Chain A
Amino acid sequence: MSQTVALRLSGITRRFGETLANDDISLSLERGEVLALLGENGAGKTTLMSILFGHYSADAGTVEIEGRKLRPGNPRAAIKAGIGMVHQHFSLAENLTVLENVMTGTERLWLPRSRTAAARRKLLDLAERFGLRVEPDRRLGDLSVGEQQRVEILKALYNDARILILDEPTAVLTPPEARQLYQILRGMARKGLSLIFISHKLHEVMEAADRVVVLRRGRVVAERRPAQTSKDELAELMVGRRITRPVRAQATPGEMVIEARNVSVRRRDAIGLRDVSFTLRAGETLGIVGVSGNGQSALGQVMSGVLAPSAGELIILGRRITRADVPAQVRAGVGRIAEDRNHEGVVGELTLWENVTLERIGLRRFSRFGVIDRGAARAWTQEVIDAFDVRGGGPDHRTQLLSGGNVQKLILGRNLLAMPRVLIAAQPTRGLDEGAIAAIHSRLLEARAAGTAVLLISEDLDEVINLADRICAIVSGQLSPEIRAEDADARRLGLMMAGDWGMEGAQNAV
């Protein structure tokens, strides 16, 4: 154990209505230590950190910083005591520059003018010391997500934070950016800062943390050092039972269901597709890996009928696709999982039954002459809920009340219960915890075994290797030649995602 304790939480308890979000949690953080707080969604990680930062006050328990008790429920007191918080959704203003963002809230309002020069010196000094390169005068909105996160970290350091809390810092980052972030975090710890980061990703805590505290249902269930544990043990501690992600079995592909020849999509605001060609047969899964923002959205949307191809030939289930026509796509038997659950997958304010039936409400099964058969819609929703173990609400509850995993099960259910012949699965497990991931994976495998052709677009390499028969990488809107899943490993896929396609043994797509 090292010399001093930077932070000590004792007996923190917090109740929300019926649920006990934090149940008598005690933990301590040494100076210069990187502590990972591991737990599934809903285990109480974020509540605990919000109590620490003063967003909530605890029903019982105390927070001590460097031996002094922290006034509860007061973010200002927490900042003053040296706690800095890096939120998952940054608390920055896109229309201000980096420097302005960092200075916001640090100056008294009645000063005649900002002390910009001194602030700039301090910012550059911090950036230098901790290896967080930034350009102070760039507009924040022009920066990449990784750079914005750096600004968020610098903002905390600018407020003289000695204890840094990062809430799922890698959720928004690409794998290389994430790796870079761990190095920066380790460097900061070496320079005497103490860090807590919240995560539900196992490889991440194994790689970056000195110590791991596992939370489950609001309680501390274990404490481990990465050297003395394994991913499997941590997964089991986190979920409370053994979880193994299922792996595909051999299957024989059937008839051709998707043929794409030189399909291009032009988009004004994002990367589209350039000359994409592939085929997909019934009963097989084609995995598309790639660093986020390389055309995955366009690929998912054009296959889902939301975007029209601007050039090339796309034939899905024997129909030539020339325009965006979602209802036709759904009728033909194309199941669609949107890349972004909350912005495309469901309308949070609507009820479960409304969300489950929205994309096929025009079918005779659910409506006649424009009038909805609510009985049929509710009944089918109940079937989805039962068959896919959706928890957190019945057909008439608002969808907002569901957790991310349950929303995703609902989306998967509304597609798979309709027995689709093709399933376009864009990022089907992004942001979900291990239990939900395993459930979704086994559903995808079942669908494949039942003869559904699955186009799996994902950033999770393990997921693609476990589920897909063939794998391509997508880079700047172009598809790499494909490889068989048996030949894939993380290193090789990494090279493909980086655009290095000069691989031996690669077969050309079509």
Chain B
Amino acid sequence: MRFELRETRSTALIIGAPVMAIIAALVLAGGLIALAGASVIEAYRFILLGAFGTRSSIAETLTRATPLILTGLAAAVAFRARLWNIGGEGQLLLGAIGVAAVGAELTAGLPSAFAIPILFVVGAFGGMALMLVSLGLRQVFKVDEVVSTLLLNFVALLFVSMMVEGALRDPLAFGWPQSVPVADNATLPRLMERTRLHAGLIVALLLALVIYLIQARTIFGLQSKAAGFNAGAARFAGVPLGRTLVLVACISGGLAGLAGAIQVMGVRGHVTTDISPGFGYSGIVIAMLANLNPLGVIAAACFTAIMFIGADGMSRAVGVPSFIADVTVALSLLTMLVALFFTQYRVRW
């Protein structure tokens, strides 16, 4: 058996690969569900019901997808330029805590139309700052950014923990370690009555479109792609490598920070150390599932959100632990990597 490089990749193949990968992951996870003693079909039916069954479950799924779209974009933008940002989680946390610090009092007197954009920028800056630390370490000391972004996640988490138990602790929270809440003027408007779905979804969708257009249509998009694929050729063609990387790092870190800001302003109202159930890490999987395509990120984020929200309902109904969602999403990353291989190569016997 041999693998040969494909000359062309058809659109069907590019869309089909992730779909096949997800189906394969579902089949594999089905084996685990069967091992747990439940009917596989039933379990998947309850997952779909849990994610789509009612108006409020649909809203909940989209609410969950919102930060995932942003962290997925953060990873996709960075990976496209071969900047391995594994630190979406920490950047999200810093964005969230920044919003809590500024949004509780400083912007409290402003009209929402000013307060909300200002806090978006604050959150984005939080994530950006952390990513730029890693990029600086890479450019000056040649520290691998995989390591530094990953480890800074823990630094960021402990910093948030310090803040919510210290300087930013909410005195009215009966001793719970949570931050002061952001003022009401910073709360994102609801998209559906009596649900948690908020305007952050619109922001995330628009950003996906904007990032797509930047990558496909602008000089910066072309230069960051060239720098990522072949730094030597990019340098020879006059691409400013350093500046391009800084910009990529800012966009990537900023998107992850914005995810944290939106989560605080749209869902939680305050920060706790468990504000992110791994949104940053899921973003990496989502970016890979989307094959780094910003529009694909939307679909991949929805898939992940469906699995997580659906698995909660499924676990109540058939008694299979909801960890099956984590397993399925993780499996889908592995199957996607295999599928990506087959979009590049064909098999000959």
Instruction: Pick the interface stretch among A171-179, A241-249, A348-356.
Output: A348-356
Shortest C-beta distance, A265 to chain B (Å), equals: 16
B219 x A354 contact (CB < 8 A): no
A350 x B226 contact (CB < 8 A): yes
> Complex Cα distance A345/B230, Å?
10
A347 x B226 contact (CB < 8 A): yes
A370 x B238 contact (CB < 8 A): no
A305 x B238 contact (CB < 8 A): yes
Contacts A304-B236, A330-B238 given; does A347 touch B219 at CB 8 Å: no
Shortest C-beta distance, A116 to chain B (Å), equals: 35
> Complex Cα distance A327/B243, Å?
15
Complex interface residues of chain B between 187 and 239 (CB less than 8 A to chain A): 217-220, 222-223, 225-226, 229-230, 232-239
**A354 partner, pick from B4, B222, B235, beta carbons under 8 A:** B222
- Number of A interface residues in the complex (CB < 8 A): 35
Select from chain B the residue with minimum beta-carbon distance to A400: B5
Q: Collect the chain A residues with CB atoms within 8 Å of residue B233's CB.
A: 338, 343-347
> Complex Cα distance A400/B235, Å?
19
Asked if B2 lies at the interface with its beta carbon under 8 angstroms from chain A, I say: yes
Complex interface residues of chain A between 388 and 418 (CB less than 8 A to chain B): 397, 401
Q: Collect the chain B residues with CB atoms within 8 Å of residue A397's CB.
A: 8
**B237 partner, pick from A359, A367, A401, beta carbons under 8 A:** A359
Contacts A354-B226, A367-B219 given; does A326 touch B238 at CB 8 Å: yes
Q: Collect the chain A residues with CB atoms within 8 Å of residue B232's CB.
A: 340, 343-344
Contacts A367-B219, A370-B218 given; does A347 touch B230 at CB 8 Å: yes
Q: Collect the chain A residues with CB atoms within 8 Å of residue B217's CB.
A: 371-372, 374
B2 x A358 contact (CB < 8 A): no
Asked if A499 lies at the interface with its beta carbon under 8 angstroms from chain B, I say: no
> Complex Cα distance A372/B229, Å?
19
A344 x B236 contact (CB < 8 A): yes
Q: Collect the chain A residues with CB atoms within 8 Å of residue B237's CB.
A: 326, 358-359
Shortest C-beta distance, A75 to chain B (Å), equals: 11
> Complex Cα distance A16/B7, Å?
11
A326 x B236 contact (CB < 8 A): yes
B218 x A345 contact (CB < 8 A): no
Q: Collect the chain B residues with CB atoms within 8 Å of residue A16's CB.
A: 4
Q: Collect the chain A residues with CB atoms within 8 Å of residue B218's CB.
A: 370-372
B230 x A372 contact (CB < 8 A): no
**B222 partner, pick from A55, A327, A344, A361, beta carbons under 8 A:** A361
Select from chain A the residue with minimum beta-carbon distance to B346: A17
Interface of B is mostly: helix
Q: Collect the chain A residues with CB atoms within 8 Å of residue B225's CB.
A: 347, 349-350, 354
Shortest C-beta distance, B179 to chain A (Å), equals: 39
Asked if A96 lies at the interface with its beta carbon under 8 angstroms from chain B, I say: no
Shortest C-beta distance, B313 to chain A (Å), equals: 42
Contacts A348-B229, A348-B230, A401-B7 given; does A56 touch B2 at CB 8 Å: yes
> Complex Cα distance A367/B218, Å?
8
Q: Collect the chain A residues with CB atoms within 8 Å of residue B223's CB.
A: 358, 361
> Complex Cα distance A340/B230, Å?
12
> Complex Cα distance A344/B236, Å?
6
Q: Collect the chain A residues with CB atoms within 8 Å of residue B219's CB.
A: 361-362, 367, 370-372
Select from chain B the residue with minimum beta-carbon distance to A73: B2
Q: Collect the chain A residues with CB atoms within 8 Å of residue B230's CB.
A: 343, 346-349
Q: Collect the chain B residues with CB atoms within 8 Å of residue A338's CB.
A: 233, 236
Asked if A8 lies at the interface with its beta carbon under 8 angstroms from chain B, I say: no
Asked if A216 lies at the interface with its beta carbon under 8 angstroms from chain B, I say: no
Q: Mark B5-20, 1 if CB is under 8 A from A, else 0.
A: 0011000000000000
B234 x A347 contact (CB < 8 A): yes
> Complex Cα distance A370/B244, Å?
13
B222 x A306 contact (CB < 8 A): no
Q: Mark A327-341, 1 if CB is under 8 A from B, else 0.
A: 101100000101010
> Complex Cα distance A304/B234, Å?
13
**A347 partner, pick from B2, B4, B220, B229, beta carbons under 8 A:** B229
Q: Mark A191-202, 1 if CB is under 8 A from B, else 0.
A: 000000000000
Q: Collect the chain B residues with CB atoms within 8 Å of residue A371's CB.
A: 217-219
B238 x A327 contact (CB < 8 A): yes
Shortest C-beta distance, B215 to chain A (Å), equals: 11
Complex interface residues of chain A between 97 and 113 (CB less than 8 A to chain B): none
Select from chain B the residue with minimum beta-carbon distance to A340: B232
Contacts A348-B229, A370-B220, A401-B7 given; does A358 touch B239 at CB 8 Å: yes
> Complex Cα distance A345/B233, Å?
6
> Complex Cα distance A17/B2, Å?
14
Q: Collect the chain B residues with CB atoms within 8 Å of residue A326's CB.
A: 235-238
Q: Collect the chain B residues with CB atoms within 8 Å of residue A370's CB.
A: 218-220
Q: Mark B70-88, 1 if CB is under 8 A from A, else 0.
A: 0000000000000000000
> Complex Cα distance A73/B7, Å?
23
> Complex Cα distance A340/B232, Å?
10
Q: Collect the chain B residues with CB atoms within 8 Å of residue A374's CB.
A: 217
Shortest C-beta distance, B243 to chain A (Å), equals: 12
Select from chain B the residue with minimum beta-carbon distance to A346: B233
Select from chain A the residue with minimum beta-carbon distance to B220: A370
Select from chain B the residue with minimum beta-carbon distance to A338: B236
> Complex Cα distance A348/B5, Å?
13
Shortest C-beta distance, B124 to chain A (Å), equals: 20
Contacts A361-B219, A367-B219, A374-B217 given; does A350 touch B229 at CB 8 Å: yes
Q: Collect the chain A residues with CB atoms within 8 Å of residue B236's CB.
A: 304, 306, 326, 336, 338, 344-345, 359
Complex interface residues of chain B between 112 and 157 (CB less than 8 A to chain A): none
Task: Identify the 8 closest CB pairs spanning chains A and B, nearest first.
Answer: A326-B238, A359-B237, A344-B236, A347-B230, A358-B237, A349-B229, A327-B238, A343-B232
For this complex, 13 residue pairs linking A to B, each with C-beta atoms less than 8 Å apart, are: A16-B4, A326-B237, A340-B232, A344-B232, A344-B233, A346-B230, A347-B230, A350-B225, A358-B223, A358-B239, A359-B236, A359-B237, A370-B220
Can you add 18 more A-B contacts, CB < 8 Å, to A16-B4, A329-B238, A344-B232?
A17-B7, A305-B238, A306-B235, A326-B237, A327-B238, A340-B232, A345-B233, A345-B236, A346-B230, A347-B225, A347-B226, A349-B229, A350-B229, A359-B237, A370-B218, A372-B219, A374-B217, A397-B8
